[in-house]
Amino acid sequence: MTFLRGHGSLRKCDPMRIDGKVVLITGASEGIGAACAREFATSGARLSLTARNEEGLRRAAGPDALVTPGDITTDQDRRRVVGRTLERFGVIDILINNAGAGIYQPSWEMPIEEARYLMELNFFAPLAMTQLVVPPMRARRSGMLVNVGSIGGKVVLPWLTLYSVTKSALGALTEGQRIELMRDGVRTMLVCPGYVKTGFQKNVRAGQAPEKVQKARRFAITPEQCAEAIRRGVERDARTVVTPRSGWLLVLAMRLFPAIVEARMASLNGTA
């Protein structure tokens, strides 16, 4: 159990029950997003799902889920999915900003328009979604913002440098909004997955992971394991979820032995 300071007094903040809650998930057509749809539906949530791939959304959705195909990098589609969700359910209890993309290309040669697109999808779209859902959450003094970042947001991955930059920015946003909204009963949670067995590598906008990194795939977790960690994090009102938990060792190692970790990263990247 945690406490929030609201209007000059400490206010008890109980763990969130998923049953009956309205959960809006972006990027829900495959991977972590689709797994979250199944995980939260099993826990009794009412779902609103969005992604560009309508066929994938239909597969991920249960019989009672609201499906809104669209591109959340556009203001029109963001407003449409939020508006339809409020029209159907009346509230949005949990927003899971999951949609994202990556590019395996060095920062010094990536076309600047691609860098801008990464920031648009991985950072500005989640920011814009929160700006749409936070006002009604503040009015009800209840709600949770869940931002799916990456271990790369904690420790920069040199084969995904600008992706890591976008996820670092998303992490800072999550932490800042936690403080901004603390008095309003709205919580935030950052999720930092490591290697997850999804279609991320085949869906990247350009390039491919270094061979040594691809071999590490055997240590990856499944989307279902990641979704379970997210659901458990929401229930216990976690600040940050790193999954698998062993990822915390990398974060700690980077803080204590940065030169050693950087050398190891360079070797994985084929640059040392």
Residues taking part in catalysis: 163
Q: Residue 31 corresponds to which tokens in the numbers above?
A: 């991977």
249 - beta bridge partners?
none
Task: Evaluate whether 26 touches 19 at the Cβ level (below 8 Å).
Answer: no
The CA distance from 262 to 195, in Å, is 18
Cα–Cα–Cα angle for 248, 126, 152, rounded to 5 degrees: 25
Strand bridging mode 66-69 / 94-97: unpaired
Largest CA distance in the chain: 55
- Secondary structure (3-state) at 96: strand
Q: Residue 36 corresponds to which tokens in the numbers above?
A: 């979250």
The amino acid that residue 181 corresponds to is: L
Burial class (CB in 10 A: 0-12, 13-18, 19+), 135: exposed
Tally Cβ neighbours within 10 Å of residue 139. Answer: 11
Axis-axis angle for helices 75-89, 125-140 (nearest 10): 30
